[in-house]
Homo-oligomer: A and B are copies of this chain.
Amino acid sequence: MVLYWTMPTDTNPIFNLDTIVIVGPGLLGGSVALGLKAAGHTGKVIGVARSQSTLDIAIQVGCIDQGTTDLVEAAKQADLILLATPLKTFRDVMGQIADHLKPGCIITDVGSTKSSVLIDAHEQLKPEQLKYLVPSHPMAGSETQGPAGASAQMLQTRPCIVTPLDQSDPKTVAEIKDMWDRIGMQVIEMTPQQHDEHSAVISHLPHLLNVMLVQTAMEMGGMEMASTGFKGATRLASSNPTIRSDILTCNRTAILRVIEGFEKVLAKMKNKIDKDDRQGLLDDLNQAMDFRNHWVNQFDHRGESGKTDM
């Protein structure tokens, strides 16, 4: 059974909106645009980017119908505006559009941290605009960057976290949740704080560990022996440094707390290796393997159950 939130099927007004504006039609923004089209949006999609070449590629790939480098001009026409630029630019983008949005324009985003979006929005947007803001975090990505790699497929069966504000309009929240659901994502609602703590654990710490593993190899050597295991264990170190350093800034507090949690885990592990506690180590490895295998099994079957539902 599919729960379409509180909405009857086939009537989500978002898919009938005339103009959707994607600020930053890159890998993720472009994929959302393609997902909207695939899910039935027939209106116009305008992309806003700083460089014309990004817009040209986004048009070529079919993410957007038209492109402009003029944010304000695009914002004036928007019925829904999706922020998909690096996190650090959100404050500036919101400041630029606040005086130009149509009343009732829906605002959402794909930012990887959510407390920072809330702070930016409270500072930059008008109180009546906050009603139509529904921050979101579609959790999907790949090693590639830019609209050339965009695909609706990339979002399928992946989690999308939605973090409504206290003052968010319930109808708009339902519409946005339904939008992500129809794009094919697994919608989960939580508070911005929960989102940030959890994503520090399952996304920002993994990235940092991948980077620090590379740094350790840079310091200590051994690359002539590196193979597929090392390649996989450092994959996230090749993700966009600008986006990633923005996240480290925007989610600083939660990340530091999670690093402290990791340091405790590391100290225990090191102690067991130092003491040659074979049974303790074997128990730890078995427990971690079982926990991961159980999760992977659930995760890999999400796609199949999704298909049955649809």
Instruction: Tell me the smallest distance from the CB of A128 to a CB of chain B, in Å.
Output: 31
A224 within 8 A of B: yes
Listed stretches A17-25, A31-39, A164-172, A202-210; interface member: A202-210
A8 within 8 A of B: no
A234 within 8 A of B: yes
| Of B202, B205, B226, B292, the contact of A238 (CB 8 Å cutoff) | B292
| Of B225, B249, B276, the contact of A159 (CB 8 Å cutoff) | B225
A161 within 8 A of B: yes
Asked if A256 and B274 sit within 8 Å, CB to CB, the answer is yes
- Taken together, the copies of this chain in the complex come to 2
Q: How distant is the Cα of A198 from the Cα of B226 in the complex, in angstroms? A: 9
Asked if B227 and A159 sit within 8 Å, CB to CB, the answer is yes
Instruction: Tell me the smallest distance from the CB of A130 to a CB of chain B, in Å.
Output: 24
A53 within 8 A of B: no
Q: How distant is the Cα of A232 from the Cα of B259 in the complex, in angstroms? A: 19
Asked if B214 and A292 sit within 8 Å, CB to CB, the answer is yes
A252 within 8 A of B: yes
Q: Would you list which residues of chain A between 230 and 258 have a CB under 8 Å from chain B?
A: 230-239, 241-242, 244-245, 248-249, 252, 255-256, 258
Contacts of A211 in B (CB 8 A): 269, 284-285, 288
A65 within 8 A of B: no
Known A-B contacts A225-B198, A288-B218; the reply to A282 vs B242 at CB < 8 A is: yes
Asked if A199 and B222 sit within 8 Å, CB to CB, the answer is yes
Q: How distant is the Cα of A199 from the Cα of B217 in the complex, in angstroms? A: 10
| Of B159, B205, B266, the contact of A263 (CB 8 Å cutoff) | B266
Asked if B230 and A206 sit within 8 Å, CB to CB, the answer is yes
| Of B217, B242, B289, the contact of A237 (CB 8 Å cutoff) | B289
Q: How distant is the Cα of A288 from the Cα of B245 in the complex, in angstroms? A: 13
Instruction: Tell me the smallest distance from the CB of A236 to a CB of chain B, in Å.
Output: 6
Asked if B205 and A213 sit within 8 Å, CB to CB, the answer is yes
Task: Given contact pairs A202-B225, A220-B261, enumerate 9 new A-B contacts (beta carbons under 8 Å).
Answer: A159-B226, A205-B213, A205-B216, A206-B230, A206-B233, A211-B285, A227-B299, A229-B236, A252-B276
